[in-house]
């Protein structure tokens, strides 16, 4: 049976052109890009091209791009750099719904004596901008807010938030791992100082990412070693991964229009079909201001993990939230922050699509999910007790 993959916010398949671009760097083009000889020099030229491709996707200059190993490293590098640049400032502002790459780091820093303010969101996952404005103080070293939520797809007004921070003389970083390649981004028209992205979220390989650092921004390297990345990130570059990331960014720019039309239409068909066919279900998050590929749907009185196990029998891949928090028995911290009722939060499933999904796949999912939910609710004492209300 064919696998129907609807978990693209966890990771994406490597696009065939990306794989094709990468393969030579595992064999005949194996030189070190920092070497003086021409054999390594040709690899160095490929890295420069990839840097330009990444920069073009987000409207930046090539010398503002630092290659990293992943989005988590990029997030860590940005936040730790800001704290190093302003050692007298001990305050960090973030949100209650950040990815663990940021959330776990600021929790760690809080133990070390930093003061952390987490801005709340409303029941649609929208950032409380009034609370954000009053949270900024002369002691604030950095603001770190995600551009798009990985579980609900809800977009934050990061450009507005960055402008507010800039007016207060505060550095601003955004974790844009889910946003890059799905929505248009032009860093030349924003006040954002640093932006993180990850290759495996946009059809490149795992193990490669990038950090945008605006020209003139104080920056201290997270990894100290050789002179790579102009001294901003030590370590021999992952040449195959970087070349693949460059190609993936080039493809993402070409696919931006289908991402926001075809993929969005498939997402809406899936979402509306499930809501129509399954009672006591709801969408989590703002349906008008979110990524085009993502929907988080709660099915009351069932467990998300049980839904995923039964879907897996049909080779349907989805998620109960962030892949980086799987294994926890607690409802998603994102849904808790949004005030999603307990009986709904436990039965939440995230479907995240890509340009490789088809209408036939969506039809198959719409055919199978209602039966899965009905079966599980038949086993649920809570559903049976409230059957008169639920029916």
From residue 377, how far is each of 167, 274, 278, 342, 382 by CA, in Å? 53, 15, 11, 16, 8
CA 251, chain centre distance (Å): 18
Q: What CA–CA distance (Å, rounded) separates 58 from 50? A: 13
Tokens of 180: 């890059």
C-alpha Rg value of the chain to the nearest Å: 22
Whether 390 is a known active-site residue: answer no
Quickly count: other Cβ atoms within 10 Å of residue 335's Cβ.
24
- For β-strands 140-144 and 91-95, DSSP reports them as parallel
Q: Give bridge partners of residue 66 from the DSSP assignment.
A: 211
Residue of 70, 317, 324, 390 with catalytic role: 324
Whether the CB-CB separation of 307 and 376 falls below 8 Å is answered with yes
Catalytic residue annotation: 324
């Amino acid at each position: 049976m064919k696998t129907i993959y609807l978990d693209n916010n966890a990771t994406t398949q490597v696009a065939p052109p990306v794989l094709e671009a990468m393969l030579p760097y595992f064999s005949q083009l194996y030189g070190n890009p920092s070497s003086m000889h021409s054999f390594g020099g040709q690899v160095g030229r490929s890295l420069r091209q990839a840097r330009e491709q990444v920069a073009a996707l987000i409207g930046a200059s090539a010398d503002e791009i630092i290659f990293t190993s992943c989005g988590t490293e990029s997030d860590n590098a940005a936040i730790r750099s800001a704290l190093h640049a302003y050692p007298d400032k001990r305050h960090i502002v973030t949100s209650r719904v950040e990815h663990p790459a940021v959330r776990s780091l600021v929790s760690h820093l809080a133990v070390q004596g930093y003061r952390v303010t987490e801005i709340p969101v409303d029941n649609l996952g929208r950032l409380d901008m009034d609370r954000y404005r009053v949270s900024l103080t002369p002691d604030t070293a950095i603001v770190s807010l995600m551009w798009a939520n990985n579980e609900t797809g809800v977009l934050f007004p990061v450009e507005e938030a960055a402008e507010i921070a800039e007016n207060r003389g505060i550095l601003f970083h955004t974790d844009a791992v889910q946003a890059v390649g799905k929505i248009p981004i032009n860093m030349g028209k924003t006040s954002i100082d640093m932006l993180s992205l990850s290759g495996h979220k946009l059809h490149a390989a795992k193990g490669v990412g990038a950090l945008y650092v605006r020209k003139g921004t104080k920056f201290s390297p997270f990894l100290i070693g050789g002179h790579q990345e102009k001294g901003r990130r030590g370590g021999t570059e992952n040449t195959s991964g970087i070349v693949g990331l460059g190609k993936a960014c080039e493809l993402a720019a070409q696919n931006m229009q289908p991402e926001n039309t075809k993929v969005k239409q498939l997402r809406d068909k899936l979402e509306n079909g499930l809501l129509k066919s399954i009672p006591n279900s709801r969408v989590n998050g703002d349906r008008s201001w979110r990524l085009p590929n993502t929907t988080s749907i709660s099915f009351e009185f069932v467990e998300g993990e049980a839904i995923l196990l039964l879907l897996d029998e049909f080779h349907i891949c989805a998620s109960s939230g962030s892949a980086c928090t799987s294994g926890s028995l607690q409802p998603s911290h994102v849904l808790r922050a949004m005030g999603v009722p307990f009986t709904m939060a436990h039965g939440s499933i995230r479907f995240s699509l890509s340009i490789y999904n088809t209408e036939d796949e969506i039809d198959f999912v719409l055919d199978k999910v209602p039966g899965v939910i009905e079966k599980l609710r038949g086993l649920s004492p809570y559903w049976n007790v409230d059957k008169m209300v639920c029916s």
